[in-house]
Amino acid sequence: MISHKVLIIGGGQLARMMAQAAPSLGIELRVLASPSDTSVVNLAEVVVGDYRNVNDVLQAAKGVDVITFDHEHVPRAVLEELLSAGHVLRPSLKGLELVQDKLHLREQLAKWGVPQPKWHGGPGNVRDMVRDFLRTGVAWPLVVKRSVGGYDGKGVWVLRDDSDLSSLDGVESPGWVVEEFCEFRQELSAQVARSPHGQGLAYQVVQTTQVDGICTNVIAPAPDLDEATGIAAQRLAMELASKSEVTGMLAVELFCMPDGQLLVNELAMRPHNSGHWSIDGAVTSQFENHLRAVLDLPLGSVKPTWPYTVMVNVLGVNPVDESVLNHVLAHDPGARVHIYGKEFKLGRKLAHVNVSDSDPSRALARAQHAADRLSGTIR
């Protein structure tokens, strides 16, 4: 019998959707989850523990072929212990370091000559850093980011002028990145799957929309994106995947500027919110391809199965109740609902809805309606 055993560190919705993809390829999943991670219950072998605790992680890793991740917050010391114990990490330590620290990423992208927003950064006093940056000729507004530990816009501040610096009072960080505010035409995400033997496939480039740093919707493919820019984004993602020796999924978040220039904002080396559409809109989802890639299996086709697939996140406004779910399922039988099995919390990502259609505006309206009902935004 074929049997591959994978450990996922972290038990959020990404682990849940990998767990949903695993059985059809005979992959056994173990997940190291915290006691409050409810998303993977009954979907995988769950080991409850702390990803920051070396013993918990080594215990969970016993007997698995490969270790991969639902998030990028595992401390370096823990990753090094796993390597010394002979475990295989995918992505590699080198790759993970890039996505754990925004300052390190900016420095590395600069060394590689990859286009990115103008930036300045380091450890130290953030106000001095902002002043030094302004002296180089950059103008307000600016974007200030903590170098580590942020997600969904937490740890990112948009400062309109000097007076906004007070919003950073009392905030600690081992390092900072200060960036020019990019007036982009579109935010894009280019995702590739890459396996250890070097096979790489690029998904179609998508448009993402963020409100207050949180992704609200994704349109696949990105509307109004000319072919040459789309291909350039895919090439850039493939180039970054090989430079950073990624194994698994890589998402490259990009700002597409008014003149068509692409600037790299961030990288994620795991399945990513910008690829949730692929569960219902591509031959092989990002979750299945991540598992195939980390196990060095041949990758599945990334071809879209519909002209457009739109994903809308369900961000908690009210708890999802059964009658709302019934309404949504009955109202639009073509809407694909993916619930994450998480406790309700205001603003938390609780689910997403995918809708495929020949028309992107109609797909967005249908998915938005379903998501608004599920989140309790409309009743």
Residue closer to ligand ADP (CB basis): 199 or 210: 210
Residue pair 191/249 in contact (Cβ under 8 Å)? The answer is yes
Q: Does 187 bind ligand ADP (CB under 6 A)?
A: yes
Residue with tokens 């990513």: 272
Q: Which of residues 16-75 bind ligand ADP (CB under 6 A)?
A: none
Where is 236: in which H helix or E strand?
helix 227-243
Question: C-beta of 142: minimal distance to ligand ADP in Å?
Answer: 8
Residue from the set 87, 120, 145, 292 that interacts with ligand ADP by CB under 6 A: 145
Q: Does 156 bind ligand ADP (CB under 6 A)?
A: yes
Question: C-beta of 252: minimal distance to ligand ADP in Å?
Answer: 11
Q: Using the CB atoms, write b or e for 332-358: b if 16+ within 10 Å.
A: beebbbbbbebeeeeeebbbbbbbbbe
Q: Using the CB atoms, write b or e for 33-46: b if 16+ within 10 Å.
A: beeebbbbeebbeb
> In this structure, how many other beta carbons lie within 10 angstroms of the beta carbon of residue 83?
13
Locate 305 and state its tokens: 């199965």
Distance between CA 14 and CA 69 in Å, rounded?
Answer: 9
Question: C-beta of 177: minimal distance to ligand ADP in Å?
Answer: 9
> In this structure, how many other beta carbons lie within 10 angstroms of the beta carbon of residue 183?
9
The one segment of 57-65, 107-115, 142-150, 349-357 that binds ligand ADP by CB under 6 A? 142-150
Residue closer to ligand ADP (CB basis): 19 or 269: 269
Tell how strand 349-357 and strand 200-202 pair up: unpaired
Q: Does 265 bind ligand ADP (CB under 6 A)?
A: yes
Q: Does 182 bind ligand ADP (CB under 6 A)?
A: yes
Distance between CA 17 and CA 121 in Å, rounded?
Answer: 36
Question: C-beta of 191: minimal distance to ligand ADP in Å?
Answer: 15
Q: Using the CB atoms, write b or e for 116-141: b if 16+ within 10 Å.
A: bbebbbbeeebeebbeebeeeebeee
Residue closer to ligand ADP (CB basis): 65 or 97: 97
Residue from the set 25, 134, 181, 245 that interacts with ligand ADP by CB under 6 A: 181
Q: Does 143 bind ligand ADP (CB under 6 A)?
A: yes
Residue closer to ligand ADP (CB basis): 100 or 265: 265
> In this structure, how many other beta carbons lie within 10 angstroms of the beta carbon of residue 111?
9
Residue closer to ligand ADP (CB basis): 60 or 144: 144
Residue from the set 38, 199, 210, 261 that interacts with ligand ADP by CB under 6 A: 210
Question: C-beta of 35: minimal distance to ligand ADP in Å?
Answer: 25
Residue pair 130/178 in contact (Cβ under 8 Å)? The answer is yes
Q: Which of residues 214-243 bind ligand ADP (CB under 6 A)?
A: none
Site size for ligand ADP (CB under 6 A): 19
Q: Does 213 bind ligand ADP (CB under 6 A)?
A: yes
Q: Does 349 bind ligand ADP (CB under 6 A)?
A: no
Residue from the set 65, 266, 296, 332 that interacts with ligand ADP by CB under 6 A: 266
Distance between CA 368 and CA 106 in Å, rounded?
Answer: 34
In three-state secondary structure terms, 343 is coil
Phi, psi of 40 (to 5 degrees): -105, 0
The one segment of 67-75, 90-98, 152-160, 197-205 that binds ligand ADP by CB under 6 A? 152-160
Cis peptide before 91 (omega within 30 of 0): yes
Residue from the set 117, 248, 281, 316 that interacts with ligand ADP by CB under 6 A: 117
DSSP 256: E
Cis peptide before 221 (omega within 30 of 0): yes
Q: Which residues bind ligand ADP (CB under 6 A)?
A: 117, 143, 145, 150-156, 179, 181-182, 187, 210, 213, 253, 265-266
